[in-house]
Homo-oligomer: A and B are copies of this chain.
Amino acid sequence: MKSSIGNKIKLSVFGESHGAAVGCLLEGLPAGFKIDFDALLVQMSRRAPGKDKTATTRKEADIPEIISGVLDGVTTGAPLAIIIKNNDTKSHNYDNLRDNPRPSHSDYAASVKFGGYNDIRGGGHFSARLTAPIVAAGAICRQILKEQGITIGGHIQSIGNVCETSFDPVNVTAEQLEGLSSKLFALNNPEAEGLMRKEIEDARLEGDSVGGSVELVALGLPVGLGNPMFYGVENVVANILYGIPAVKGVSFGAGFGYASMRGSQANDQMYYDENGKVKCYTNNCGGITGGITNGMPLLVTVALKPTPSIAKQQKTVNLETGENATLIIEGRHDPCIVPRALPVLEAALSIALLDLLSEEGKL
């Protein structure tokens, strides 16, 4: 199994949901960067469960320990090992899952792949808990990006059938992103929150779950970042985002909307702004042409599937008996993963962009 990614900035994730700890290794950071640990905890807190009824009631302390690569809060240039101890695990809830794989979970595929030796307690290495160290690593990368004038942000684009106002692809500002960056329920239009919460609560009450989508932005990237073919911004960003559980679609700028456009509509025509910078009137390309940044905001949209762990009875197979079976999943589960997934996706985007910048010596 490979759980690492990146070239110059390399992230390697380890741990199991009900093991001793989850954590990650973050290699390639510049020496001499002072980490803002409070800002890191804010991001951890956005991902942490147990905040309200939209999420699982499990409590996870989620205080990362950085056990290497940092001295007196400053990076030394050596690899950072980040550890998050596990608590509040109730493994007994999962005992019958080895025989009865949960629909749309990795249980069956993983069981075949690992010959049944994979740790299934709480999802093991497949658990969304593994995203906690990604948030910690991403928070550090995000701070380094910020020092370079690059701002990362995002909002919940939709939950179920409730959509909200998208970012203005041309005029989205760093202030706007900063304002969202510590929110548990990050929205451009706060009025959508009630409708979205209702969508989630309706699902929860029915023992069901609901999907959604998020929009991510990066502002301040230098022009010329990326490559035309296989190490382009889109490749690198999509590659890491598909590492986050529940992600089933990734698009850039107008994305799937491009499919029904004419070129004359779609093309982002150019001009010099008052400061002599090259700008586009529109930003359908989401800040990337030919795999390379063009100076416009980087725009990514991500689709997330509904949490597959639902309380309703489902059909499955019994791998032990070789017969069809039914399953009711016990335990505490997120009726909607989208609000908690947003900071994870922002973190992943931060890691990918820092890798691209480092790789090209643009840090």
Residues A205-264 near B (CB distance < 8 A): 206, 208-213, 223-232, 234-236, 238-240, 242-243, 245, 247-264
* Assembled-state Cα–Cα distance A212/B285 (Å): 15
**Could you say which of A8-16, A49-57, A139-147 contacts chain B?**
A8-16
Q: A291: which B residues are within 8 A, CB to CB? A: 106, 242-243
A280 and B248 in contact, given A78-B119, A229-B243, A258-B304 (Cβ under 8 angstroms): no
Give the number of chain A interface residues (Cβ < 8 Å): 150
**Which residues on B sit within 8 Å (CB–CB) of A324?**
271-272
**What residue of chain B has the Cβ atom nearest to residue A32's Cβ?**
B117
A254 — which chain B residues lie within 8 A by C-beta? 248, 305
Given contacts A32-B115, A76-B125, A232-B242, contact A268 B19 (CB under 8 A): no
Report the minimum CB–CB distance from A128 to chain B (whole Å): 11
CA distance A230 to B284 in the complex (A): 28
Inter-chain CA distance A359–B363, complex, in Å, is 13
Which residues of the other chain, B, contact A292 by a CB distance below 8 angstroms?
A: 106, 109-110, 113
Give the interface of A toward B (CB within 8 A). Answer: 1-5, 7-8, 10-16, 19-23, 25, 27-28, 31-32, 65, 67-69, 71, 74-81, 83, 101, 103-110, 112-115, 117-119, 124-126, 130, 157-158, 160-161, 203, 206, 208-213, 223-232, 234-236, 238-240, 242-243, 245, 247-272, 276, 278, 280-281, 284-286, 288-295, 303-310, 312, 314-317, 322-324, 358-359, 361, 363
